[in-house]
Amino acid sequence: MKKSLFIAVNAVLIALAIVFMAIPISIGPVSLAVLMLIPVIIASQTLGFKSALLNSAALGLMSCLFSLLFPVSPLAVLFRNPLVSVLPRLFIGPVIYWVYEGLKKLFRNKKGGEYFASVISTISGVITNTFLVVFMLWALYFDKEVGGTVISTEFLTGLLALNFVIEIIVCAIIAPPIVAAVKKMLGKSMFKKSVKGNSASENTESAVKIKTDLSVKDECENNACVDKDTVKAPLCHNRFTDESKDKKVMTDTKEIIDFSSDKEKKTVNRTVQNI
């Protein structure tokens, strides 16, 4: 993939994550904050490891900045700590990438194997995000009051309850079809550029070949002299006529050259006309 396309696609995905983070989407009492993981999932499954790590880091940094600048809930204060907002997110993309690539190779000969790998790696990304964030909250703030909230066992268990299950279901349904569409789009784009590049290369090769043939023709014409006292003359190989013909006539040097079926010269007859 070209560097310009790589940068453009990653920029779009990061911008999409910012939109999901800035505009929280909820279904009743359930918050779908997990939608901000969709761009990371797409990058990890379509663009490779570097994009997976880049989008994960961008997600973590944006989460930390939004909790500082635009706190939308009492729990935002917890994510002002980079160990909670940034560090766990760094593992999301790599985990998705490794699980996806591993399952894709494992089921490469199975129908629907790639789609299955996309679903499972998506679920693994959601689990990685939730469990690592909860683990860091437990390690740093357990039994402490932060922003008027006590980080207790009941609180942490609540984070892993209904909301977590819905997040897995939503991502597993939404992400794989988007990944398939993005892969198809990127594949077509790269294919068109490849065909265009090959056509340009073929045109260049044709131009070089024509130029070389013309040079050889001029050299042959200059070296093909006629000696009236002998029947022998320099042989000029004709590289610009169709090799499928058994007999080739070079009228400019007044030579008739006969070739056998295996394209080897047999005889050369010269006719010299005295004027």
Please tell me the pTM assigned to this model. Answer: 0.67
Q: Which of 145-154, 166-175, 180-189, 251-260 has the lowest mean pLDDT?
A: 251-260
Asked whether residue 271 carries a pLDDT value surpassing 60, the answer given is no
In the chain, what are the domains?
3-196 (1.10.1760.20), 225-275 (no CATH)
Q: Could you give the residue ranges of the DSSP H alpha helices within the chain?
A: 3-22, 38-46, 49-69, 82-85, 92-106, 113-141, 153-159, 162-223
Mean pLDDT of 249-266: 44
Mean pLDDT of 230-252: 44
CB 90 within 8 A of CB 57: yes
3-state secondary structure of 98: helix
* Other C-beta atoms lying within 10 Å of the C-beta of residue 93: 29
Asked whether residue 222 carries a pLDDT value surpassing 60, the answer given is no
Is the pLDDT higher at 8 or at 255? 8
Question: Quick one: pLDDT at residue 242?
Answer: 45
Q: What confidence tier does 33 reach under pLDDT thresholds 50, 70, 90?
A: confident
